[in-house]
Amino acid sequence: MKITIAHSPDSDDAFMFYGLAKGGVPTGDLEVAHVLTDIETLNRHAHEGRHEVTALSFHAYPHVADKYALMPCGGSIGDGYGPLLVAREAFDPKWISETKVAVPGTLTSAYLALQLYAPGVKTIVVPFDRVLDEVREGRADVGLVIHEGQLTYGGQGLVKLLDLGAWWKDDTGLPLPLGGNAVRRDLGPEMMARLTRLVRETVKHSLAHRPQALEYAMSFARGMDPAVADRFVGMWVNDMTVEMGERGRKAVQLFLDRGAEAGVIPQRVAVDFVEA
């Protein structure tokens, strides 16, 4: 049976899936194909149920909950850190509602966090790797930064206004859930559980073979300095990626509940995690 696993072409996702991509995790009679594309595109593809297993933003989950269940592993969860708001010059972030913010997509969890912090803020959507340029070149006042831009914005002469992950933890005491992996429901409970175990095993394999996995991930690091890539991977692939636990599950549910209460998400959903 052929299974497609779709994820972003980022160094943290590449690190996470090293075990499967390079044969370190046995798949038995499953033929696993990897599809790499940006997270906003994956969020859109999930609407169609295109891939058996897909990375997606937790913000996108309520829109596809009829087709997918979430895995409790393979997630990117920031415990006290997360997407950044950056600008050319420092100012009090309470004024962000009066600015124009460049965002990397309206289904990203970063966008949901921004809307919870500054409801109704004016935004423009650009590819995630253009956000810093939009701010630096003056087409946006503020940038909502994800991926490696969280570590490299200073090199472009920009300053941090606010870490939305730190804000969320101060407000709730919980980590900020950003991206997860989901598995298609039509595969049935047994296969859903098997694929969940496979994703957990590839994360554990990568953490156990960190130097090799990091070397593989560097080919996806878009010219990032190896020390920066190492730090970036460490932020987003850790014990909570192996198993988010009750604290992580509670964070996902609260994040989406707050989004529904704010009207950013169309309706409340009870988050459904695969048990495996």
Average of pLDDT values for 190-216? 96
**Does residue 180 lie within any of the structural domains?**
yes
Strand, coil or helix: 211: helix
231 and 153 in a common domain: no
96 and 149 in a common domain: yes
194 and 251 in a common domain: yes
183 and 167 in a common domain: no
Do residues 101 and 164 make contact, with C-beta atoms less than 8 angstroms apart?
no
**Does residue 267 lie within any of the structural domains?**
no
Q: Which domain holds residue 218?
A: 2-78+176-261
pLDDT value, residue 208: 96
153 and 110 in a common domain: yes
Residue of higher predicted confidence among 151 and 182? 182
- Bridge-based pairing of strands 176-184 and 68-70 is antiparallel
Q: Residues 7-35: pLDDT tens digits? A: 988 888 999 999 999 999 999 999 999 99
42 and 114 in a common domain: no
Phi and psi of 31, rounded to 5°? Answer: -100, 115
Name the residue with tokens 């969860």.
Answer: 77
Q: Which of 120, 142, 172 is the last residue of a domain?
A: 172
**Does residue 140 lie within any of the structural domains?**
yes
pLDDT value, residue 262: 96
68 and 180 in a common domain: yes
Number of domains within the chain: 2
147 and 181 in a common domain: no
pLDDT value, residue 24: 94
Whole-angstrom CA distances from 35 to 64, 174, 191 are 19, 32, 19
| Position 276 confidence tier, pLDDT thresholds 50, 70, 90 | confident
Q: Residues 207-266: pLDDT tens digits? A: 999 999 999 988 876 677 888 888 889 999 999 999 999 999 999 999 999 999 999 998
**Does residue 271 lie within any of the structural domains?**
no
CA atoms within 13 A on the CB side of 43: 20
Please determine, for residue 118, whether its predicted confidence score (pLDDT) is greater than 80: yes
Our CA angle for 7, 58, 256, nearest 5°, is 175
Q: Which of 172, 205, 239 is the last residue of a domain?
A: 172
pLDDT value, residue 10: 84
The 3-state secondary structure of 222-268 reads: CCCCHHHHHHHHHHHCCHHHHCCHHHHHHHHHHHHHHHHHCCCCCCC
Helices (H), the chain: 11-16, 18-21, 39-48, 61-64, 109-117, 131-136, 149-152, 164-172, 189-208, 210-218, 226-236, 239-242, 245-261
Residue of higher predicted confidence among 4 and 150? 4
Q: Residues 57-100: pLDDT tens digits? A: 999 999 999 999 999 999 999 999 999 999 999 999 999 999 99
Strand, coil or helix: 151: helix
Q: Which member of 7, 59, 147, 205 is catalytic?
A: 147
Q: Specify whether 147 is catalytic.
A: yes
221 and 96 in a common domain: no
CATH number at residue 128: 3.40.190.10
101 and 61 in a common domain: no
Average of pLDDT values for 37-62? 94
pLDDT value, residue 76: 94
pLDDT value, residue 106: 92
Which residue type sits at 159? Answer: V
pLDDT value, residue 232: 87
154 and 184 in a common domain: no
Q: Which of 172, 189, 215 is the last residue of a domain?
A: 172
29 and 6 in a common domain: yes
